[in-house]
């Protein structure tokens, strides 16, 4: 029964607001990916000692934790997109 409740789309969900929310989330996820790629490129330019020092900081640990959470968020956005498809009755979202 609980799973059935989780799969239902609320009757008061406005489709256009949901599309806007999806678009915003998708943009934030894409920006995060671009930033991660930039960090990777920048890290390649650092010498070994600097890289080692950087990766042992709390900031680096927080960055890695955030990246892991974003992977979960991406899966949640995919679920949201599926709900959007059902709500809108079409196959294209965003």
- Long-range contacts of 20-27, Cβ-Cβ distance < 8 Å, separation of 24 or more: 21/80, 22/77, 22/80, 22/81, 22/84, 22/93, 22/94, 23/94, 25/73, 25/77, 25/80, 26/77, 26/94
- Pick out the chain residues at pLDDT < 50: 1-4
pTM: 0.61
Q: What is the per-residue pLDDT across 56-78, written as a single tens digit (0 to 9) for each? A: 999 999 989 988 888 888 888 88
């Amino acid at each position: 029964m609980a799973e059935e409740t989780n799969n239902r789309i609320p009757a008061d969900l406005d489709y256009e607001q949901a599309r806007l929310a999806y678009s915003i989330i998708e943009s934030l996820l894409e920006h995060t990916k671009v930033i991660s790629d930039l960090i990777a490129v920048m890290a390649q330019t650092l010498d070994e000692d600097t890289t080692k020092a950087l990766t042992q900081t709390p900031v680096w640990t927080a960055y890695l934790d955030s990246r892991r959470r974003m992977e979960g968020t991406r899966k949640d956005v995919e679920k949201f997109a599926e709900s959007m498809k059902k709500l809108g009755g079409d196959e294209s979202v965003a």
